[in-house]
Amino acid sequence: MLSDIYGCKLVLGSATPSIETYYRAINNKLELITIKKRADGALLPDTHVVDMREELVKNNKSMFSSSLFEGIKDRLEKNEQIILFLNRRGFSTFVSCRKCGYVFRCSNCDISLTYHNNSNNLSCHYCGKTEKVPQICPECGSKYVKYFGVGTEKVEEEVKKYFPAARVLRMDFDTTRRKNSYENIYNFFKEQKADVLVGTQMIAKGLDFKNVTLVGVIAADLSLNIPDFHSSERTFQLITQVAGRAGRGKKKGEVIVQTYNPDSYSIQCAAENSYEEFFEQELSLRRLMNYPPFSELMLINVSSPNEDLLIKNIQNVAVNLKSLLQNTNKVEILGPCPSEISKIKNNYRWQIIIKGELNQNIKKEIKNSIYDSVKESYNNIRISIDVNPLSLI
């Protein structure tokens, strides 16, 4: 590390440090310094959690709860600004046939195509493939093709529909591809030339807008449903970070979090701005399941355009790893199995997870065993080994 080379202090600053980092800090592996107040004496925003199931009972089928709708209306009347957060770009998240259930998927990847209204295309967010929206279902010939799910484009359209006088900007990957586009959107909103900013996680932190008094989290559940032990942590971090965009000036802010899981501890703790409470609950679950910081993980990803070759090689890897680690009772091997997204860019993907007490010698032996297992096919497959990965997807 540069701090070791130059003998200087290394400062890691975050309102939502990772569980592993905070665990090290409270166990005196790192020096912990806590800032209890916001800059310039700004007050923390009031945060309200809205159960969207109750909205449906009230016959509200809009993506905006009554609380958020009234909040947007109120801020527009006061010439204050609003941020609406949804960590999913596009207009509709998938397109399906109502008659037979066929879902339009990418031919290169194991993922559904996302509909983008601006280009009127279906797009894969993994390989970039685009295609026009078919008028009929290729499976059964039905004309009943329907768009499902919500992305930032749809949120932008709904705001314009319900509040036609509002000046709306959208900040996501699609609107920030061109040179200077991010800076242009940022400056336009900062100069109060727009009323509403809709965006993905790129608006969640690091932005300082003094006139933003309302933040709406459209669907707090998205990251909760990811099959990864980090999902609760990511949910807490995203909500806490985007909530921090409200009330950074002299006016007090408000945050409205829409969810179908209002009892989730990650959502409740984020609403209460209680990192310590979230940390304790998350830590107890990780201790129970022996996940970091109580163990280390190694994620072994193997991919190849030849699925049969891939399966043969990853099975060889698994057999040799089990033989290597059979006398190590503090190490567990999970898999092999297909990755959550089992094909990307015409490469099939499988994975193995190793969990437990992994010292440097064991890590080296594991690495050597993996490469010995696939040496005959090494040029036709791709292997990645990630220690303590940020994502298991």
| CATH number of the domain enclosing 210 | 3.40.50.300
Has residue 38 got a pLDDT over 80? no
**192 and 250 together in one domain:** yes
Query: Do both 270 and 190 map to the same domain?
Result: yes
- pLDDT tens-digit readout, 313-332: 999 999 999 999 988 888 99
What are 178-187's pLDDT values in tens digits?
889 999 999 9
Instruction: Answer yes or no: do 197 and 343 share one domain.
Output: no
Give a yes or no: residue 27 inside a domain. no
Same domain, 333 and 273: no
* Residue 30 resides in a domain: no
Same domain, 262 and 311: no
Domain co-membership, 318 together with 177: no
Are both 276 and 303 inside the same structural domain? no
**Largest Cα–Cα separation, the chain:** 69
Q: Is 180 inside any structural domain?
A: yes
- Give the pLDDT confidence of 132-167 residue by residue, as tens digits: 888 899 889 998 888 888 889 999 999 999 999 999
Final residue of a structural domain among 237, 267, 287 = 287
CA torsion 46-50-55-58 (nearest 10°) is -60
Q: Rounded distance, CA 257 to CA 51, Å?
A: 9
Q: How confident is the model at residue 12 (pLDDT cuts 50, 70, 90)?
A: confident
Residues 283 and 378 in one domain: no
Question: Do 269 and 329 belong together in one domain?
Answer: no
Does residue 83 belong to any structural domain of this protein? Answer: yes
pTM of the predicted model as reported, rounded to 2 decimal places: 0.89
3-state secondary structure 337-363: EEEEEEEECCEEEEEEEEEECCCHHHH
Cα–Cα distance between 140 and 161 in angstroms, integer? Answer: 34
Q: Provide the 3-class DSSP secondary structure of residue 52.
A: helix
Q: What is the DSSP string of 150-191?
A: --HHHHHHHHHHH-TTS-EEEESTTTS-STTHHHHHHHHHHT
Percentage of the chain beyond pLDDT 70 is 99
Do 341 and 268 belong to one domain?
no
Domains of the chain: total: 2
**Which residue is associated with the tokens 């036709």?**
380
Q: Which pLDDT value is given to residue 15?
A: 87
Output the domain CATH number for residue 323. 3.30.70.360
* Radius of gyration, alpha carbons of the chain: 24
Confidence of residue 217 (pLDDT cuts 50, 70, 90): very high
10 Å Cβ neighbour count for 245?
Answer: 24
Whether residue 224 lies inside any domain: the answer is: yes
Please check whether residue 63 is in contact with residue 196, taking contact to mean a CB–CB distance below 8 angstroms. no
Q: Are 367 and 343 a contacting pair, CB within 8 Å?
A: no
Q: Which structural domain range is residue 185 located in?
A: 41-89+151-287
Specify whether 313 is located in the same domain as 178: no
